[in-house]
Amino acid sequence: MNNVKVREIIQNNATRKNHRLDRVMPTFFLVMALLSVATTIGIVLTLVTDASKFFASVPLREIFSTKLAPLSAQPSYGILPLLMGTAMTTLVAILVAVPIGMAAAVYLSQFASPKLRKVLKPVLEVLAGIPTIVYGFFAYSFVTPLLMNLIPSLEPKNALSPGIVMGIMIIPMVASLSEDAMNAVPEIMREGAYGLGSTKLEVATKVVIPSAISGILASIVLAVSRAVGETMIVTIASGSTKNFTFDITKSMQTMTAYIVEFTSGDAASGTTGYYSLYAVGLILFLFTMVVNLIAQYISKKLREEY
């Protein structure tokens, strides 16, 4: 704290050469910083105004129906098929990403030597840096044909293959967040368990994972948010059929894919179909916001004090 005082004294005695610029710059930086806030406000305003036009013109009963046909002569705007598509692909992704990501985290934090970890981590991060469009191509041109050999009834566009690939994309995120949580467990707790004669596996499953559970849960919640918001993999590989089904071998459409399909077609400004994009966008936005708050809450509330 002494340091700061010295700095203030020196600063106050500084020459006045650039005085005017020195007074202007803080305001300039503040204005630039506030532009990011303006972006958020812009997002909320556009989503809410355009979505409200949609909700004003479509009856609530229709919104919660299982029929979505925005381009037919008698358009219908049921959101349930999109929610189902999103839920199914997300579920598959989580089933892939969480066990594999956590196992990778346990391996990296418990078993790998520091040297090996230094090599493995960045390579694992490469998976996270690959553009989603590339994963989409991979899902459609490689994973789906591969799965068709195992499941003959699989449709060329389906919820299973993009779900799996999305899970693979999320593995590094789950692994790195979980590993951070596991590394935060104090060495003394591990040593204590080893001192009682535990094996490495017992230390991992009975000491490290339970102690790091808040960080692990937060990573899972964030993974869900990522899977729900992911767009290009599902757009390419799960198709555009607005199916309300639990069958993951069938083509389904997610909320994000609906937005892409509809805008790259002719979403004439001012039509109900155009406003439906913003209604779906608003639901997506609210979902990710809530999920992020939950993740923050979990990691704060459940953080163990050592």
Partner 1 sequence: MAKHVFSLAVVFAFVVLLLLLFNVGKDSIGWLTPGFLTRNLSIFPEKAGIWGAIKGSVYLMLIVIPTTLVLGVSTAIYLEEYASRGKVANFIRVNISNLASVPSVIFGLLGLAIFSRFLGLGSSILAGGLTMSLLVLPIVVVASQEAVRAVPGFLRDASYAMGADKWTTIRKVVLPVALPGILTGSILAMSRAIGETAPLVVLGIPTLIRKIPTSIMDDFTALPIQIYYWTLDTVLTPEYANLAAATIVVLLLVLFLMNAAAIIIRNKFQKKF
Site for partner 1 in 247-286 (CB under 8 A): 256, 259-260, 263-264, 267, 269, 277-278, 281, 284-285
Q: 9 or 73: whose CB is closer to partner 1? A: 9
CA distances from 158 to 108, 154, 163, 245, 264 (A): 34, 7, 9, 11, 21
Q: Shortest Cβ distance from residue 93 to partner 1 (Å)?
A: 14
Contacting partner 1 within 33-62 (CB under 8 A): 33-37, 39-40, 42-43, 46-47, 50
Site string for partner 1, 172-211 (x = CB under 8 A): x--x-----------------------xxx--x-------
Strands (E) across 82-219 are located at none
Does 108 bind partner 1 (CB under 8 A)? Our answer is yes
Binding track over 206-245 against partner 1, x by CB under 8 A: ----------------x--x--xxxxx--xx---------
Nearest to 108 by CA among 55, 10, 200, 182: 182
Candidate ranges 28-36, 71-79, 83-91, 244-252; the one touching partner 1 (CB under 8 A): 28-36
Closest CA to 112 of 223, 206, 204: 204
Residues 78-97 that bind partner 1 (CB under 8 A): none
Q: Which long-range contacts (CB under 8 A, 24 or more apart) does 49-52 make?
A: 50/274, 50/275, 50/277, 50/278, 50/279, 51/275, 51/278, 51/279, 51/281, 51/282
**How far out from the chain centre does Cα 267 lie?**
27
Nearest CB to partner 1, comparing residues 43 and 151: 43
